[in-house]
Amino acid sequence: TFVNMFRLGQISVQKVNQEGTPLEGVEFLLEWSEDGTNWQPVTETAGPEYPLGSCTASGLKEGKLVTDADGMAVFTGLHPQLQYRLTETRTNQGYQLLADYVFVGELSPEKNYKEEFTVVNVPVFRMPATGGKSLVRIPLLILLCVGTCAGLLLYRKKRRHA
C-alpha cells in the first residue's frame, strides 16, 4: 500500500533596500483561497497531514512571517492546488510599505511549486528643507527697510523746518 502525498510548495521572499542590503524585521502576510475570492491567512501545521491553507514555516503567527537577518521570509509546506496572495504588512521605519501585492496566483508546477521573490524597499520621500533661514532674514530685512525709510522721512522733515 502506498500513500500518494502532495508535493508541497514554498513561497520565499527576500526584502532588500535600494543598495541590495537585506532588511530584517519586515512582515509579510500569506493568504490562501480555493476560488480567488475568499481569502484566509495560512495556518501553522507540523504535519503529517496538511489541511487546506496550512503552512509548515516556523515562526508563523496569524499567517505572517517576519524577515530574518538575511531579509528572508520563507513559507513552506504549502498545498499546491490553492491560490496564494502575499502582502507586505509592516516595514522598517523610514521605508515605504508596498502599495500592491508581492504575489497573487497558484504555485507553478514548472518551478517545482516554488516561487521566489526579491522585493526592493525604497525610503519614504521627504520634502527637502529649503529656505529655512529665510524666514528669519526676511522679517529682519523688512524691519531694516522700514527703519531706514522712517529715518529718512524724519531727517527730511527736520531739514525742512530748520
pLDDT in tens, 19-49: 999 999 999 999 999 999 999 999 998 867 7
Classify residue 75 as exposed, middle or buried by CB count within 10 Å of its CB (0-12, 13-18, 19+). buried
**Model pTM score:** 0.74
pLDDT in tens, 113-123: 999 999 998 78
Tell me the mean pLDDT in the region 51-67.
93
